[in-house]
Amino acid sequence: MSVNFLASNKGERVQLVVTPESAGWKYLSFSVLDHSDGAVYEDQRDGLETAIVPLSGSGTFEINGTPYDLSRSSVFEEMPMVLYVHPGDSIKLLEGGNLLFAIGSAPAEGVYPTRLHLPQEMRSEIRGGGAAFRQVNHILAAPMPAERLILFEVYVPRGCWSGWAPHCHDGHDGSPYLEETYYFKLQPDTGFWMHRNWRDGEFNDVMSGQDGDCAMVPKGYHSSVCCPGSHMFFLNFLAGDLIGEKRSTPPCFHSDFTWIEDDWEAGAWELPIVKKPK
């Protein structure tokens, strides 16, 4: 299995953990934690801005004693609230909730205060077409305030691709440098996804996973696809060299594949292609 693949510890308190040390990169940390049993969670991250995204259930966080209620029925039913936490603020999930949540951080100077972002503030768009049709929700992306953190949620119909045309953001080909995690959910959850990180002639990192698993993107062009039997959701956390408004800087797209953006149905087959002789 790829070193950039992380299987979910379903049924455990800590389902996923990505740190700069474990991923071999500089900025980004990401975890998925299951507190659906009502247990308390406490944390404090000095020098790191933090974003908390509810995945299902509900709970109340206290940040330096101020309460923030988070809830979400399912990632497939509603957009999230996102709780942004100022570096060094005390984080506490109060006892009695039933929350499954993602939490991630990146180094920050402390420019922005703790605040709760609501779905009404988030941009949502439909991208692509044909077999690369998807919905992208900008749940913490410029111009929404953060220093390094960038968050997206993406919905991909079964059998379709996301990240097409393939793109990179690792400092190569004029791209910005960003580290990225993909946390996948599937509906129904019996399916699988596939993801590829690569650079022509240098490396080819292909992985496949199930509901709740994670792919990491330290470098290379990349894209993802879901099997024909399941719809796919993924949550992206990104962080890197881009700060503030510069977080809107686009990646670099692979020139071999951008032609399809002119017409997503161009050259599409209609079956049968070859016919049996009469």
Quote the pLDDT of residue 1.
56
Is 274 contained in some domain? no
Is 161 contained in some domain? yes
pLDDT band at residue 145, thresholds of 50, 70 and 90? very high
Strand partners, 158: none
Q: Which domain holds residue 96?
A: 11-258
pLDDT tens per residue, range 247-278: 999 999 999 999 999 999 999 999 999 999 98
- For the segment 122-136, the average pLDDT, to the nearest whole number, is 97
Quote the pLDDT of residue 3.
84
Strand partners, 176: none
Is 71 contained in some domain? yes
Is 278 contained in some domain? no
Is 268 contained in some domain? no
Is 269 contained in some domain? no
Quote the pLDDT of residue 56.
98
pLDDT band at residue 2, thresholds of 50, 70 and 90? confident
pLDDT tens per residue, range 187-236: 999 999 999 999 999 999 999 999 999 999 999 999 999 999 999 999 99
pLDDT tens per residue, range 37-72: 999 999 999 999 999 999 999 999 999 999 999 999
Q: Is 175 exposed, middle or buried (0-12, 13-18, 19+ CB in 10 A)?
A: middle
At a CB cut-off of 8 Å and minimum separation 6, what does 85 contact? 45, 49, 50, 51, 52, 63, 91, 114
Is 134 contained in some domain? yes
Q: Domain holding 45: CATH number?
A: 2.60.120.10
Mean pLDDT in the chain?
97
pLDDT tens per residue, range 67-125: 999 999 999 999 999 999 999 999 999 999 999 999 999 999 999 999 999 999 999 99
Is 87 contained in some domain? yes
In the chain, the number of structural domains is 1
pLDDT tens per residue, range 6-35: 999 999 999 999 999 999 999 999 999 999
